Structure formats: structure tokens, C-alpha cells
Chain A
């Protein structure tokens, strides 16, 4: 199996058929270990037990941006290299990314209520992540609105590349504007400021959620390849039927 084989949808399906059970098992193990470590993590001296929400909220927030970055790479694959799997990857990543973004907003809200006294604030970080969710939903709508997958892929790729400008805005929003949201405490110059007792469970949960994304993405890509085969066969069937209908009157004409 070479990289060129991966460009072939049939090769991709055959490789991932063998890979998926291992990915699913690794995801389950990592998430279970992460949940155990999260449950055992001590309370924060200021936030108390609500710090446990961080182990769910932060991985989802990271993934909401990571998935868009994956889609941006796929968009380049569609527009520049015309890789046959690039638009399959972009299309199938969008609903998963939207789910992670939705979870980041919901868990952030549930963390914000006890800590800030409000479920929602129109501050820079929260608003930019809400815009990210709306962009995901817009992309999903675009994929569904355009029937021809290759035309939809090009339009979605342009929108994805344009939307990528939101990623640095989300990341730096806490530095550029005054917000209720805390500044970066893990991915920052100078290293994490988070204590090891919280950092280890957080990183294990983040790895688990990242593997969950990879597993779901690969499974969704396999389904999308099948959907395109169904579409191709249905078009062949329709052409065959219309050919028969078109040929029938000529055959029945008198000589």
C-alpha cells in the first residue's frame, strides 16, 4: 500500500477497512483513561469541581478549529491538486466539526454560568466561535444545495479558505480584546501555565477526542465514497432507461 493507492477511493476503502477497528479501539481506550483521570483530578482552589468541565470543553474547542484547518488543507487539495479524496474529506469533516463546535459552546456556557454568572456573553472569543459554528452550518447547507459534488466541492473549498481567516481571530481574540474568557494556558509561548494534575488529564482527553474525530472522519469518508458510487450507478441507470425510451419510437417506426 503506497501513498498513491490512498488517492484511489477503492484503495482508501480497503486500507481503512483494516484500520478502523484499531482506531475505534484506541479511541475508546484513550477516552476511558481520560475520563478516569478527569474524575480523579482534584478540585481547583478557585473553581472547585467545575474545573472538570475543562476536560470536555477545551478538547472540543481545539477540535472545532483543528477540523476547520483539516478542511482548509482539503480545500487546497481540491482547488490546487484536484485530489480525488480531498472534497470527500472536506465534505465529511464539516458535520463532525460543527458538532465539536456546538459542544465547545454548550460546555463553555455550562462552565460560564457558575464562574461568570452568565451562560452567554457577546465577547470576542464566544462570538468568534459562534461565527465558526454558523460557517460550518453554511458549508453543510452549501454541500446539500448543490447537486453536482464536483461543483459543490469547488464552491465549498473557496468558502472554506475564506473562512480560515476566522481561526487566528479565535485564537488571538483573548489577547486582542478585553474578554471574560481566560487567555491561553496550554498552547502558548513559554509553555503551559496549567498544573500537571490538570494538564495530564486534559491532554489525554484531547488525544482521545482527536482520535474520535479521526475515526469518525474515516468512517464518514468511506460512506461518502459509497454515496458517490450510488449516484454514479443511478445516473448510469437513468441514462440506460432514457436511452431505451428514446430508442423505442424509432424501432417501432414503419420501414
Chain B
């Protein structure tokens, strides 16, 4: 597959899309892990939901 004289434009477009997708996935995964950790810490310190269920369940 030859991309011709405009290869840098084509490759940069695909790399930009890959980078932004990777950043989004990473950000959401890290944010999820952080919220899970904060919930666990709160529950361990004795703060529980009124229903008595674990906030991290499901």
C-alpha cells in the first residue's frame, strides 16, 4: 500500500484518532478506578448507604 506524497497527512490523521481514542479510554478507566477506591475508603471508614447496601456493588 503506497500512500504517495501525502502520506504524512494520512498517517497523522489516523494517529490523531488513535491517540484521542486511547486518551478517552485511559481517562475513563482511571476515573472509574479512582471512584471505586474512594467509595471503598468511605465504606471502610463506616459511612454506608441508607439502604445498607455496599455502594460499590454491581
Residues of A within 8 A of B (CB): 10, 13-14, 17, 39-40, 43, 48-50, 52-53, 56-57, 60, 95-96, 99, 102-103, 106-107, 110-111, 113-114, 212, 216, 219-220, 222-223, 226-227, 229-230, 232-234, 236-237, 240
Contact = CB atoms under 8 A, between A and B. Distances in A.
A107 B2 CA distance: 20
B32 A233 contact: no
B58 A216 contact: no
Contact of A237 (B4, B6, B12, B47): B47
Contacts of B57: 10
A113 B35 contact: no
5 contacts: A107-B16, A216-B24, A219-B28, A222-B32, A226-B56
Contacts of B10: 49-50, 52-53, 110
Contact of A96 (B1, B24, B42): B24
A49 B47 contact: no
Interface residues of B, number: 38
Interface of B is mostly: helix
A124 to B, nearest CB: 23
Contacts of A220: 28, 31
B12 A110 contact: yes
A57 B20 CA distance: 13
A230 B12 contact: no
Nearest to A108: B13
Contact of B58 (A14, A237, A240): A14
A216 to B, nearest CB: 6
Interface in B1-51: 1-4, 6-7, 9-10, 12-14, 16-17, 20-21, 23-25, 27-29, 31-32, 35-36, 38-39, 42-43, 45, 47-49
Contact of B9 (A13, A111, A232): A111
A57 B28 contact: no
